[in-house]
Amino acid sequence: MDCGMATESADSPARSDELDARAVERLVFFSDAVIAIIITLMVLEVRLPQLPEHAGDAALRSALAALGPKYHAVLLSFCVIGLFWMVHHRRFNCVLRVDVGVVCLNLMFLLTIACVPFATAVMAEHGGLTSVLLYAGVLTAASLTSALLWWSVGRESIVGPNPEALQEMRIATLMSLTSAAFFIASMGIAFLSTSVAQWSWFLVFGTNWIARELYTRYRPQ
């Protein structure tokens, strides 16, 4: 027996639909809570180092200025995680029920997102080649698990007989793979210049937008 995970149920269809909706809601809720914790704690982690007892205002100002690279890294990661959340938010709105595969892939996706603050902290504090590769590697992993997740969501048993939703999930899979390719390319760039690689990440927003336009225009319909 299985209450509300995608399955043939002996209950009346209405009751079954309600249980399905409840299971989806709980999964969405759990994901939101995890992402909210990750994104908030990453910002709260920006702390002033301990200054000497009676440090003057000038010392405080220079300590604040020294946090510069941290601000930059946290802001970038805030945007990246915020973008991942926004697409998760929009796409799970199409989901009518979930099965074990979707739940597991969603957990894996959350795990990769949970690694972003670690990579952010390492990059903010060191900033050499290794830390840039680490950051791009974590985002590659997040993009790949995203691709797997949307590919798995794009089934009739998940979104129902809804051609638009199925199409959307196919586009989502392709866009996630594009992002992954993008981050892998930035790892190559990092060997030439770490700054160029870091700045290139801001392009992922634009790339995503262009990719969506292209896929939407030339979709095989």
Residue 211 Cβ, how far from its own copies at the closest point, in Å? 16
What does the block give as tokens for 166?
Answer: 């199925």
- What are the residue ranges of helices labelled H in the chain? 13-44, 57-66, 68-92, 100-114, 116-125, 129-153, 156-159, 163-192, 194-200, 203-217
From the CB of 192, what's the least distance to its own copies, in Å?
Answer: 15
Nearest residue (CB) to its own copies, 181 versus 186: 186
Q: Which phi and psi (to 5°) does residue 131 adopt?
A: -70, -30
In the complex, the smallest distance separating the C-beta of residue 162 from its own copies, rounded to whole angstroms, is: 9
Contact positions toward its own copies, by CB under 8 A? 1-5, 10, 19, 22-23, 26-30, 32-41, 43-44, 46-48, 51, 55-57, 60-61, 64, 78, 82, 85-86, 89-91, 93-94, 100, 103-104, 107, 110-111, 114-115, 117-118, 121-122, 125-126, 128-131, 134, 164-165, 167-168
The residue (of 3 and 203) whose beta carbon lies closer to its own copies is 3
d(CA 113, CA 115): 5
d(CA 10, CA 104): 26
Choose between 181 and 208: whose C-beta lies nearer to its own copies.
Answer: 208
**Residue listed under structure tokens 């915020």:** 82
